[in-house]
Amino acid sequence: MAQSTQAQSSQSQVVLVVDFGAQYAQLIARRVREAKVYSEIVSHTISAAEVVARKPAAIILSGGPKSVHVDGAPKLDAAIYELGVPIFGICYGAQLIAQQLGGEVARGGKGEYGRAILRRISGSSSSLFTDSIGDQSPELTVWMSHFDAVTRTPDGFVATASTPDAPMAVIENNAKKIWGVQFHPEVMHTQQGTEILQRFIYRLAGCKPTWTMESIIDTQVKAIREKVGSERVVCGLSGGVDSAVAAALVHQAIGKQLTCIYVDTGLMRKNESVQIVETFHRVMGIELIHVDAGSRFFERLTGVIEPEAKRKVIGELFVRIFEENTGGLTDAKFLVQGTLYPDVIESGGQDGTASVIKSHHNVGGLPEDMTLKLVEPLRSLFKDEVRALGAQLGLPDEIIWRQPFPGPGLGVRIIGEVTPDKLQFCKKQILLCVKRFVMPVLSARFGKHLPCLLI
């Protein structure tokens, strides 16, 4: 099995987002990154010792679906509060701060869901809201999703804002560098939510906006070179955004040590194979093995109707052809994969708080006995960050903004048996769809579209 030893980013500052099962955990992490500060999502089971080892600049405690009063509700290692690392609790995170540090959290009578009006508590002094709620803006519209509420602050904390159903909607302890808000500043419905988060990140936690595409490239290029040394590296191009950006980044790091293999299944979108060869081989100068295997896939798919059966046929043949064409690269020691951060998160809900959506997969799967070590330079990035990185690396918009596409290609976008006539018709319709809805600059606005052949 390929060994996962990805090129890990070494960040000078990181904000840890502690996940208590929140639907918004990834959104919180993205909001931090939008402020050009690196963030990572970690389980609530993280220990104080592990936090110390990570040396975070700040910690954000996410919301969560449970009540702090129920048996088995997730907790935080109480020693983390004593580390002196700035902490910002959101919703459940704020309630947990209050409960664990000696305050009181009452079971709500009806809870607060949706919009609420947040008002400063008269006479209170806030370091979190100085620029947000003052004489010119005495109240804010915020987004709530809670049943319990803080009713007494722990010693050393003060309540600085309230809503009609949350008398202590904001609690602060400047001496301990701990703040909590009952609402969700990460969602767009909260007025000045971004400003509130950035005030914590920049002013209270002292983070600097240094996490940029340029810094990511510099960090990864250095890490890849250190990992790979002078060894040969192979990369399986799928035609998708992730493998394309991963290949471009690794090529920038090690140049001719990289060989890309593109297995043309004949099931790709119209002109896609030509564009891949043109971009990666002729324009970027990457050594590329282009395997035209369309006839082999058509032969194997004859008479196959069931979607999962087609997926299995395509996947198994892809692996076989990939193996055939790596056979000559006997000196290769590393394999590049376009694993993204959501793949890591969604594969990992080990303690049951985060939802396990899917296990990570690549095009067709990989040989189980492959001994290559993995290089996963995009492992810490979200999809939009990968697109931005691709632009910084000079990849054309047609590749960066390419629509998501399944590994088995049009084989699973055609209902029933795959025939040459059906395939050509489907390719033509996708091209028309691209011209109408995507080109030249509308892809980011329209999101996903999914042309399928149903008859």
Give residue for tokens 């100085």. 130
Catalytic residue among 184, 235, 251, 260: 184
Q: Where are the domains of the chain?
A: 11-204, 213-446
Q: What is the pLDDT of residue 361?
A: 43
Catalytic residue among 40, 112, 172, 186: 186
The HSE-up count of residue 8 (CA atoms within 13 Å, CB side) is 5
Of 123-137, 318-332, 341-355, minimum mean pLDDT range: 341-355
126-to-58, 120, 243, 333 alpha-carbon distances in Å: 19, 9, 47, 56
Q: What is the pLDDT of residue 1?
A: 40
pLDDT band for position 237 (50/70/90)? Answer: confident
Q: Does 184 qualify as catalytic in the annotation?
A: yes
**Distance of alpha carbon 166 from alpha carbon 175, whole angstroms:** 24
Catalytic residue among 91, 207, 235, 426: 91
**Distance of alpha carbon 252 from alpha carbon 224, whole angstroms:** 10
Q: What is the pLDDT of residue 258?
A: 94
Q: Which of 134, 168, 137, 139 is nearest to 151 (CA)?
A: 168
- H-only helix segments in 8-89: 25-34, 48-54
| Cβ–Cβ under 8 Å, residues 100 and 81 | yes
pLDDT tens-digit map of 89-117: 999 999 999 999 999 998 765 655 678 89
Counts of helices then strands in the chain (DSSP H, E): 14, 17
pLDDT tens-digit map of 256-282: 999 999 999 888 878 888 888 888 888
| CATH number for the domain whose boundaries are 11-204 | 3.40.50.880
| CATH number for the domain whose boundaries are 213-446 | 3.40.50.620
Global pTM reads: 0.82
Task: Name the residue type at position 388.
Answer: A
**Distance of alpha carbon 82 from alpha carbon 431, whole angstroms:** 59
Q: Does 214 qualify as catalytic in the annotation?
A: no
**Distance of alpha carbon 108 from alpha carbon 424, whole angstroms:** 60
Please check whether the two domains, 11-204 and 213-446, share a CATH topology.
yes
Q: Does 91 qualify as catalytic in the annotation?
A: yes
**Distance of alpha carbon 185 from alpha carbon 143, whole angstroms:** 8
